[in-house]
Amino acid sequence: MRAWIEIGKETGAEEQMAEDLIIGMAGSGGDGIVSAGEALVSAAASEGFHAMMTKSFGSQIRGGESSCRVRLSIRRLHNPGGVLDVAVALNWEDFLRFGAELPVGGDTVVIYEEATGVAPHEIPLPGVLPREVFAVPIDALAKEAMGTDKAKTSVVLGLLAGWFDIAPAGILRGMAKRWGKKGPEVLSGNEKAFALGQRYAAEHPLAVARKLSRPPDERVGKQLLLDGNDMCAAAAIFAGCEVFGGYPITPSTEVMQFLTREIWKYGGAVLQAEDEIASIGVAVGASYAGKKAMTATSGPGMSLKTEILGLASLAELPLVLLNVQRGGPSTGSPTKPEQSDLFQAAFSAHGDVLRPILAPTTVADTFRVTVEAFNLAEHYQTPVIILSDQEIAQRKETVEPIEFSRFDVLSRREPAGAELEHYRRFLLTESGISPISHPGMVGGNYLAAGIEHNEHGDPTVSGKMHALMNEKRFRKLAPLERRHDLFEIVGPADAPLGLVSWGSNAGVCREAMELARARGLQVKLLVPTLIYPVAREVYEGFFASVEAGLVVEQSHQGQLYRILRMYVDVPRGVTSLARSGANPFQPAEVAAKLAELALGLQVRHGRQAQE
């Protein structure tokens, strides 16, 4: 929902300016599509634009299709956007594989490889008449520049810079940085390919010139460009993580790669174990030894880690587990985002277990959430699960420099003085939190095992003691439900329309709420950082005025909606808006649903007035 502003009519040079531009590109693996997207967001970020890039691949190890979506704006971005302003297809077969991920509409400019042999009026987009279509000899221009098709994406960048005036100087700086290492011939060839793309755009102008508005000068050079996995790893180091036990799995592997490069500089260690089970075993062992510890995985790995996760719960050991969600079940869709591991995170345990679950909503938010996860794990001596997803974890996003002074870093409470004279590791305290020692602490010896125990840690089969320990493990987490700071609520307190969303879909709902309020709808939004345990008081206060609304999430079952109904009296008019992964919601779609609900309320109130 972006308005193009027409200018220059008085001179006959009609031109449109935009505050926001969404570009989608697709091709075969090896075409360099993702590299082109990264070059674009990097150049735009260096010139002060807000930028966001998501990437998507087929599930093949080699080859297959690849795509990226780039959104640039002079305003803060909440999500990767909806219908494309510009679509680039290096071949149609690969482009069409992405379906709803790269939607084309009537205002889209379509650019595709002329060598595909498809006439502009025959492009395979049934039911859609794009604004303009350009068949460009991209491959031929690349070969003219370098004698090889390896410079195709440099041609594409030249086309985009030429037609839409997107950061040409920044793109050239990025080329010099990237290709300069390959030698002057490689750099010169790519620069020439870029120039040929610009020249082609100048010789084949858009019917109406479309330019991206310039950001304020004070934003130039003031932003970071990061993805969620790197942000999570950096936050773990800041929070004091000393040991990471990991095993590679898409789409979380970058966390282990980042920590492998960096954590040793801060006295930490990474151990890549032989499998998922061993990797969480490493982290639990390190936590028992008194170290802050973490592991990371995705859905299939989470399944394997579940048993040792139960051990950490019963032994009351601090642990942070990152699950970067992807499409499931089983191997599922490894390269696509989904929010379908919530049931697994909350309920995949034998016995009565309560584990805090947190979820970031943006790349920047991932830092805060990761630090919070370590703090909760240390304070409550419990495993804490972070539910990220493929979109947040692997998307590039401009973020403001981190203000580290905003964050407190907590550590576990250790026994001291008289507590060590007759140390009881699992002391039944009023808060449920008992001081935790570590091997080598004089007087702090205790048995840590996966069997139920008494206050000293000795095994027990006493039903009474088992009940007391269960109550202790739940009691200590009760204060979490009163942490109102772990929830974002935006909008009028008395609004009759309500939105609830979490994870990457929260950004869609933030923009949808803006669209709905611009139409005069009275709507408010709740975004939880704490997903579980359910904070009844927060939700009941939010729903008090709500007569109709949506819980928006990317899972077939609508898992958060179902969990809320287990604990909260959800108003009858609040329904689930849910779908499987790789079928993204668009802000305009959610706003339209809210408009339907608002109309339904008017009709209902009208009938009540007549009665």
pLDDT digits (tens, 9 = 90+) for 334-392: 989 999 999 999 999 999 999 999 999 999 999 999 999 999 999 999 999 999 999 99
Instruction: Tell me how far apart the alpha carbons of residues 494 and 40 are, in angstroms, rounded to a whole number.
Output: 43
Q: Which CATH architecture has domain 226-406?
A: 3-Layer(aba) Sandwich (3.40)
Q: Which 3-state string (H, E, C) describes 29-72?
A: CCCCHHHHHHHHHHHHHHCCCEEEEEEEECCCCCCCEEEEEEEE
Q: Do domains 226-406 and 483-610 have the same CATH topology?
A: yes
Class of domain 5-222 as given by CATH: alpha beta
Spell out a b/e string for 23-39, using b for 16 or more CB atoms within 10 Å of the CB, else e.
Answer: bbbbbbbebbbbebbbb
Q: What is the pLDDT of residue 6?
A: 38
β-strand partners of 72: 21, 51
Fold of 483-610: Rossmann fold (3.40.50)
DSSP tag of 255: H
Q: Is the CB of residue 200 less than 8 Å from the CB of residue 159?
A: yes
User: What would the two tokens of residue 552 be?
Assistant: 């928006």
> Which one-letter amino acid corresponds to residue 413?
R
- pLDDT at residue 14, as a whole number: 63
C-beta separation of 585 from 579 below 8 A: yes
Prediction pTM value: 0.94
Residues in Cβ contact with 73 at an 8 Å cutoff, skipping those fewer than 6 apart: 19, 20, 21, 49, 50, 51
- DSSP string across 413-436: PPP-GGGGTT--TT---SSS----
Angle of helix 168-179 versus helix 184-203 axis, rounded to 10: 160
Question: Cis before residue 251, ω within 30 degrees of 0?
Answer: yes
Would you state the pLDDT for residue 177?
Answer: 84
State the pLDDT at residue 90: 95
User: Distance between CA atoms of 588 and 439, rounded to whole angstroms?
Assistant: 57
- For the chain, domain boundaries: 5-222, 226-406, 483-610
3-state secondary structure of 447: coil
Q: What whole-number distance in Å separates Cα of residue 256 and Cα of residue 235? A: 13
Q: Please answer whether residues 586 and 508 qualify as being in contact, where contact means their C-beta atoms are separated by less than 8 angstroms.
A: yes
- The order of strands in the sheet holding 224-227 is 132-136, 104-113, 84-89, 20-28, 65-73, 50-57, 396-399, 224-227
Q: What is the crossing angle of helices 138-146 and 152-164, to 10°? A: 110
Phi, psi of 327 (to 5 degrees): -65, 135
The two tokens of residue 465 are 């003691």
Residue bearing tokens 């936590």:
287
The per-residue pLDDT for 11 is: 38
CA distance 72 to 80: 9
Give buried/exposed letters for 332-370 (b at 16+ CB in 10 A, else e). bbbbbbbbbbbebbbebbeeebbbbbbbbbbbbbbbbbb
> Residue 515 forms beta bridges with which residues?
none
Sheet with 5-7: strands ordered across: 5-7, 15-18, 209-212
Q: Which residues contact 117 (CB under 8 A, 6 or more apart)?
A: none
For residue 566, the Cα-to-chain-centroid distance in whole angstroms is: 26
Q: Hey, how many other C-beta atoms are within 10 angstroms of the C-beta on 446?
A: 20
* Segments of the chain scoring below 70 in pLDDT: 1-14, 60-63, 611
Task: Name the amino acid, one letter, at 533.
Answer: P
pLDDT value of residue 63: 65
Give CA separation, 112 vs 24, 97, 108, 157, in Å. 12, 15, 13, 13
